[in-house]
């Protein structure tokens, strides 16, 4: 080894200096290396490897001294590029010369030798590791500054043209290749079976050897896939370049961004300043994309793009949003469209979305604050003209905001999903304010459009206009969080319109319901559909009864047969509680005749009808006075006055006994009695001790004058007339200036209904869902039994679950309760011979 090394050393130094070896000398050096590896002296290969490492170290240090004396910058990169190219060519030749050492000693000691030596590589990897340790690491700071300075000059248009860009590309590529090929592993590589190394082909530096100098099938696959080998699997050298690059890019773009934004604002006064700045950012991004192409890693290119957008857009978010607001305020579609396209190309639409959200809320607050300060909030029921105007102004203000920005998003922003989502969030934010109670306001507005006009002469031609107004107003329904509250309020108002016959038309009601059903879940609107179906069916029943002569022949006591209009309502669908009232004669005969004909008109009708007097009204003609009067009364007032046909005087106890089967329901009846006494139709026969407390008549008068009292008139009536010693009779001296006297407007005390505000939203939703499920299960039971005729309980339960599977999962208790209800109203029955078999009753 000592005799052969001087010749080997001179040959290797000649190769490192860039000279070509003659063929005979190349063969001579290759033979000497082979003899050193095959000698019996065990230390010869190790001495050869150490000597080669010392040569690489000396050469790298010599090049480092020459580079450190250069001026730096472009000169440093040019000199390094020349030396790096020459060193790569030398490594290819040395790799071929020392291939015997790579195949035998270096391979065995670096992978699975008996006593492996640390830091043993093949000749190529040894040269790269030494080059990095002795040359690149000491001068890394200077190299990084030189590359980044050249990149900044390229960004500013002062890069020296194509040669400088090519130099920067070669420097970055060599830096990346060196980092991948010379990275030392953090942990020892896994032990693999020994396989002799084949001769590596000539080619690029990255293709010379694998992770440890071997050429295996896995290495070939990695090179074929374009993945350069690496010892440690990392590239810390390139990672440090990447970190420095991102930091320098942020500082560079931040300094230029502030100056450019100020210059654009000065040059373009008004609304175009932000557009000019975004144009400049787009040009800067295009140039940055060209610069980023020289970096081999995709994450580096993404980091450079993110650094530019962060420095030029996100860091100036407040200023850009302040410039966007005037564009939105001016509502110029051309400028907004250009703004949208610029931000879309820059992937900066969140800036527009934030500005749009804030601007929508500010415009909505301005529009609704005027309404909030000028008018108090309307509440159910709102029947006066002032309340209707307040509700209409609120809905119009909300619709103006929604329509304005919906058109902006559609036309200027190309209906972008993100902008549409921002519009939806903003509308939900200002429409669901608790102080506005938008659900009730919207229900009241829809009810005002469904009521008939004040003058019957202007009805013609209004349906199309009202349909358009309803369709626009119900757009707000999709933004409401508490749709159950709207449905409950609309349900009450719909019930009032249908019961009082004050709806514009059933066709318009159907149109409104179809619009609501398109925006609200089917389960929430099922009761509304049943209410409207009841109204249509009642109209058909009324026409059918009129064609057969109506409900007349009410007995000899009636001077004339009454004309009636009957509404047949489905129990549970209407927001009212049906009381238990005994109708006096002649209403009893009228009810029995209608019920008999109604139940006999269809074989499937088995349920009995229950009269709701608190929802009824009628006219009564007086015959006991010198002058005939037509009294317009509520159902309860009508029952009370008809009781005086049998006797001229009645006590409070007698009236309750004649009309009320349940004493707990006396409050509405006695309240109606108090109203009749207050109107003067009835007079009290017993004396009243006025010194102890006010009688109900005086309480009613005080209440109508607006005076405060310790208790309501209804509570006073129940408390004052609870004894049996008070008697009432018709006042024969009663007179009135009009022939038709309406007592229903003030005398009608509605029966207690479900309080919509006493329940929380979850409770109200749970109750509505339970009622809807009850109807669905009843319908499913009837449908299944009607199709099958009879079924056992187990089979019936299975069929019901299959039928209702798409909509609801019925519990066994719910099905059993439904069977009990249907048996009670005689829709189905149990088989006489088998108790668990149910039969449909046709």
Using one digit for the tens of pLDDT, what is the confidence trace for 579-610?
A: 667 778 778 788 788 877 777 776 655 666 77
Q: What is the C-alpha separation between 655 and 718, in angstroms, rounded?
A: 13
Question: Where are any strands of DSSP class E within 100-215?
Answer: none
Query: In whole angstroms, how far apart are CA 511 and each of 483, 501, 532, 534?
Result: 19, 18, 11, 16
pLDDT of 567: 78
> Do residues 41 and 107 share a domain?
yes
Q: What is the C-alpha separation between 821 and 297, in angstroms, rounded?
A: 74
Residue 461 belongs to some domain of the structure: no
Whether 212 contacts 121, CB under 8 Å: yes
Q: What is the C-alpha separation between 775 and 778, in angstroms, rounded?
A: 5
Whether 636 contacts 614, CB under 8 Å: yes
**pLDDT tens-digit series, residues 227-285:** 333 444 567 888 888 888 888 888 888 888 888 877 776 765 555 777 888 888 888 88
Q: What is the C-alpha separation between 787 and 789, in angstroms, rounded?
A: 6
The β-bridge partners of 829 are 839
Whether 323 contacts 262, CB under 8 Å: no
pLDDT of 173: 85
Mean pLDDT score, 94-100: 86
Mean pLDDT score, 478-484: 85
Q: Is the pLDDT of residue 623 over 70?
A: yes
pLDDT of 665: 64
Residue 665 CB neighbours (<10 A): 17
73: left (phi over 0), alpha (psi -120 to 50) or beta: left
> Do residues 86 and 115 share a domain?
yes
Task: Using the structure block, give the residue that is written with the tokens 């008996």.
Answer: 114
Strand 837-840, strand 727-730: pairing: unpaired
Residue 622 belongs to some domain of the structure: yes
Strand 740-742, strand 630-634: pairing: parallel
Q: Is the pLDDT of residue 512 over 80?
A: yes
Query: In whole angstroms, how far apart are CA 82 and each of 13, 67, 85, 171?
Result: 17, 11, 5, 10
Residue 208's pLDDT band, with cuts at 50, 70 and 90, is very low
Burial of 283 (0-12, 13-18, 19+ CB in 10 A): exposed
Q: Is the pLDDT of residue 758 over 80?
A: no
pLDDT of 518: 87
Residue span of the structural domain in which 690 resides = 616-747
> Do residues 64 and 120 share a domain?
yes
Whether 292 contacts 300, CB under 8 Å: yes
- Say whether 558 sits in a helix, a strand or coil: coil
Task: Using the structure block, give the residue that is written with the tokens 């309080």.
Answer: 755
Mean pLDDT score, 199-223: 35
Helix-strand-coil split of the chain, %, nearest 5: 65, 5, 35
Total domain count, the chain: 3
> Do residues 632 and 775 share a domain?
no
Mean pLDDT score, 637-660: 82
> Residue 810 has which token pair?
């019925």
Residue 91 belongs to some domain of the structure: yes
> Do residues 742 and 782 share a domain?
no
Residue 724 belongs to some domain of the structure: yes
> Do residues 715 and 835 share a domain?
no
Residue 826 belongs to some domain of the structure: yes
Q: What is the C-alpha separation between 764 and 220, in angstroms, rounded?
A: 71
Residue 529's pLDDT band, with cuts at 50, 70 and 90, is confident
**Of 53, 49, 97, 90, which is closest to residue 199 (Cα–Cα)?**
97
> Do residues 27 and 60 share a domain?
yes
Residue 436's pLDDT band, with cuts at 50, 70 and 90, is confident
First to last CA, the chain: 116
Count the alpha carbons within 13 Å of 358 in the hemisphere toward its beta carbon.
Answer: 11
Q: Is the pLDDT of residue 736 over 80?
A: yes
Residue 375's pLDDT band, with cuts at 50, 70 and 90, is low
Residue 675 belongs to some domain of the structure: yes
> Do residues 739 and 774 share a domain?
no
Q: What is the C-alpha separation between 811 and 83, in angstroms, rounded?
A: 85
630-634, strands of its sheet edge to edge: 617-621, 630-634, 740-742
**3-state SS, one letter per residue, for 341-399:** HHHHHCCCHHHHHHHHHHHHHHHHHHHHHHHHHHCCCCCCCCCCHHHHHHHHHHHHHHH
Q: Is the pLDDT of residue 172 over 80?
A: yes
Task: Using the structure block, give the residue that is written with the tokens 């609107």.
Answer: 525
Q: What is the C-alpha separation between 125 and 232, in angstroms, rounded?
A: 12
Query: Which residues are within 8 A (CB) of 797 and not within 5 positions of it... i.e. 6 or more apart?
Result: 812, 815
Q: Which residues of 792-808 are buried (b: 16+ CB within 10 A; e: fewer)?
A: ebeebbebbeebbeeeb
Residue 833 sits in a domain whose CATH number is: 1.10.10.10
Share of the chain above pLDDT 70, in %: 75
Residue 407 belongs to some domain of the structure: no
Q: 190 vs 333, which has greater pLDDT?
A: 333
Query: In whole angstroms, how far apart are CA 353 and each of 305, 360, 400, 629?
Result: 21, 10, 20, 69
Task: Using the structure block, give the residue that is written with the tokens 């390229």.
Answer: 154
Residue 763's pLDDT band, with cuts at 50, 70 and 90, is low
DSSP-H helix ranges across 610-754: 635-642, 652-659, 666-679, 696-704, 713-720, 744-747
Whether 20 contacts 86, CB under 8 Å: no
- Say whether 633 sits in a helix, a strand or coil: strand
- Say whether 147 sits in a helix, a strand or coil: helix
Residue 582 CB neighbours (<10 A): 14
**Sign for the pseudo-dihedral over CA of 688, 692, 696, 701:** positive
- Say whether 618 sits in a helix, a strand or coil: strand
Mean pLDDT score, 120-149: 87
Q: Is the pLDDT of residue 455 over 80?
A: no
Last residue of a domain, one of 698, 713, 747: 747
pTM: 0.60
The β-bridge partners of 651 are 727
Last residue of a domain, one of 747, 769, 791: 747
Q: Is the pLDDT of residue 96 over 80?
A: yes
> Do residues 739 and 629 share a domain?
yes
Residue 111 sits in a domain whose CATH number is: 1.20.1310.10
Cis geometry, peptide bond prior to residue 586 (ω within 30 degrees of 0)? yes
Q: What is the C-alpha separation between 824 and 841, in angstroms, rounded?
A: 12
**pLDDT tens-digit series, residues 282-319:** 888 888 888 888 888 888 888 888 888 888 888 888 88
Whether 560 contacts 554, CB under 8 Å: no
Q: What is the C-alpha separation between 307 and 253, in angstroms, rounded?
A: 8
Mean pLDDT score, 654-667: 72
Whether 450 contacts 404, CB under 8 Å: no
Q: What is the C-alpha separation between 624 and 321, in angstroms, rounded?
A: 81
Last residue of a domain, one of 747, 777, 799: 747
> Do residues 90 and 227 share a domain?
yes
Whether 340 contacts 283, CB under 8 Å: no
Residue 454 belongs to some domain of the structure: no
Q: Nearest-5° angle of CA 14, CA 18, CA 21? A: 50
> Do residues 223 and 90 share a domain?
yes
Question: Where are any strands of DSSP class E within 709-815?
Answer: 727-730, 740-742, 790-792
Residue 667 sits in a domain whose CATH number is: 3.30.230.130
**Of 736, 721, 757, which is closest to residue 640 (Cα–Cα)?**
721
> Do residues 738 and 793 share a domain?
no
**Of 17, 31, 144, 157, which is closest to residue 77 (Cα–Cα)?**
144
Q: What is the C-alpha separation between 233 and 186, in angstroms, rounded?
A: 9
């Amino acid at each position: 080894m000592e005799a052969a090394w001087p010749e080997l050393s001179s040959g290797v130094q000649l190769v490192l200096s860039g000279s070509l070896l003659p063929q005979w000398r190349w063969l001579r050096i290759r033979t000497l290396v082979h003899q050193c590896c095959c000698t019996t002296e065990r230390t010869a290969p190790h001495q050869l490897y150490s000597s080669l490492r010392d040569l690489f170290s000396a050469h790298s240090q010599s090049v480092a001294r020459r580079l450190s004396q250069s001026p730096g910058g472009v000169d440093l990169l040019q000199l390094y590029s020349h030396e790096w190219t020459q060193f790569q060519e030398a490594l290819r030749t040395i790799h071929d010369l020392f291939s015997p050492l790579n195949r035998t000693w270096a391979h065995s000691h670096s992978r699975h030798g008996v006593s492996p030596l640390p830091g043993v590589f093949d000749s190529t990897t040894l040269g790269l590791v030494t080059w990095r340790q002795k040359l690149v690491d000491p001068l890394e700071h200077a190299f990084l500054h030189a590359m980044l300075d050249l990149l900044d000059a390229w960004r500013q248009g002062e890069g020296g043209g194509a040669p400088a860009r090519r130099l920067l590309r070669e420097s970055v590529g060599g830096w990346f290749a060196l980092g991948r090929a010379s990275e030392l592993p953090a942990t020892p590589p896994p032990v693999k079976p020994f396989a002799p190394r084949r001769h590596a082909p000539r080619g690029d530096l990255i293709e010379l050897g694998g992770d440890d100098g071997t050429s295996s099938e896995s290495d070939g696959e990695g090179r074929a896939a374009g993945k350069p080998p690496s010892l440690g699997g990392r590239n810390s050298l390139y990672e440090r370049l990447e970190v420095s690059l991102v930091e320098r890019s942020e500082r560079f773009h931040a300094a230029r961004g502030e100056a450019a934004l100020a210059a654009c604002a000065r040059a373009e006064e008004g609304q175009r300043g932000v557009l000019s700045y975004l144009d400049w950012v787009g040009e800067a991004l295009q140039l940055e994309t060209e610069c980023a192409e020289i970096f081999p890693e995709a994450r580096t290119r993404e980091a450079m793009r993110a650094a530019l957008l962060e420095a030029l857009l996100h860091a100036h978010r407040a200023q850009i949003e302040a410039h966007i607001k005037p564009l939105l305020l001016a509502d110029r579609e051309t400028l907004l469209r250009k703004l949208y396209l610029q931000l879309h190309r820059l992937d900066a639409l969140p800036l527009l979305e934030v500005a749009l959200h804030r601007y929508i809320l500010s415009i909505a607050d301005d529009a609704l604050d005027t309404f909030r300060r000028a008018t108090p909030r309307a509440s159910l029921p709102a029947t006066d003209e002032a309340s209707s105007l307040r509700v209409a102004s609120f809905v119009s203000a909300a619709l103006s905001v929604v329509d304005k920005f919906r058109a902006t998003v559609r036309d200027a922003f190309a209906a972008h999903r993100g902008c549409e989502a921002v519009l939806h969030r903003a509308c939900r934010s200002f429409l669901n304010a608790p102080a506005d109670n938008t659900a009730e306001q919207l229900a009241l507005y829809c009810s005002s459009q469904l009521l008939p006009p004040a003058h019957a002469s202007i009805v013609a031609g209004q349906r199309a206009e009202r349909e358009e107004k309803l369709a626009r107003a119900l757009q707000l329904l999709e933004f409401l969080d508490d749709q159950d509250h709207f449905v409950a309020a609309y349900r009450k108002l719909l019930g009032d319109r249908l019961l009082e016959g004050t709806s514009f038309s059933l066709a318009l009601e159907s149109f409104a319901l179809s619009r609501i059903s398109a925006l609200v879940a089917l389960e929430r609107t099922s009761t509304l559909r049943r209410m409207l179906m009841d109204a249509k069916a009642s109209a058909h029943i009324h026409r059918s009864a009129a064609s057969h002569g109506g409900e007349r022949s009410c007995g000899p006591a009636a001077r004339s047969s009454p004309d009636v209009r009957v509404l047949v309502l489905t129990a549970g669908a209407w927001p009212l509680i049906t009381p238990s009232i005994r109708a006096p004669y002649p209403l009893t005969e009228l009810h029995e005749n209608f019920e008999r004909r109604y139940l006999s008109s269809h074989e499937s009708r088995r349920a009995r009808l229950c009269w709701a007097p608190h929802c009824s009204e009628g006219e009564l003609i007086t015959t006991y006075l010198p002058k005939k009067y037509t009294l317009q009364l509520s159902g309860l007032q009508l029952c009370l006055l008809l009781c005086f046909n049998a006797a001229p005087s009645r006590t409070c106890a007698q009236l309750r006994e004649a009309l009320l089967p349940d004493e707990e329901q006396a409050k509405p009846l006695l309240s109606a009695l108090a109203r009749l006494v207050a109107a003067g139709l009835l007079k009290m026969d017993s004396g009243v001790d006025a010194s102890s407390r006010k009688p109900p008549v005086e309480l009613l008068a005080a209440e109508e004058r607006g005076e405060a009292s310790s208790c309501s008139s209804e509570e006073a009536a129940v408390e004052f007339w609870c004894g049996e010693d008070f008697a009432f009779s018709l006042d024969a001296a009663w007179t009135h200036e009009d022939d038709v006297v309406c007592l229903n407007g003030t005398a009608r005390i509605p029966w207690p209904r479900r309080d919509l505000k006493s329940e929380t939203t979850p409770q109200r939703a749970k109750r509505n869902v339970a009622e809807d499920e009850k109807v669905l299960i009843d319908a499913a039971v009837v449908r299944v039994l009607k199709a099958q005729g009879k079924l056992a309980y187990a089979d019936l339960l299975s069929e019901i679950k299959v039928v209702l599977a798409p909509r609801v999962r019925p519990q066994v208790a719910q099905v059993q309760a439904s069977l009990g209800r249907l048996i009670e109203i005689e829709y189905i029955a149990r088989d006489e011979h088998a108790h668990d078999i149910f039969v449909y009753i046709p």
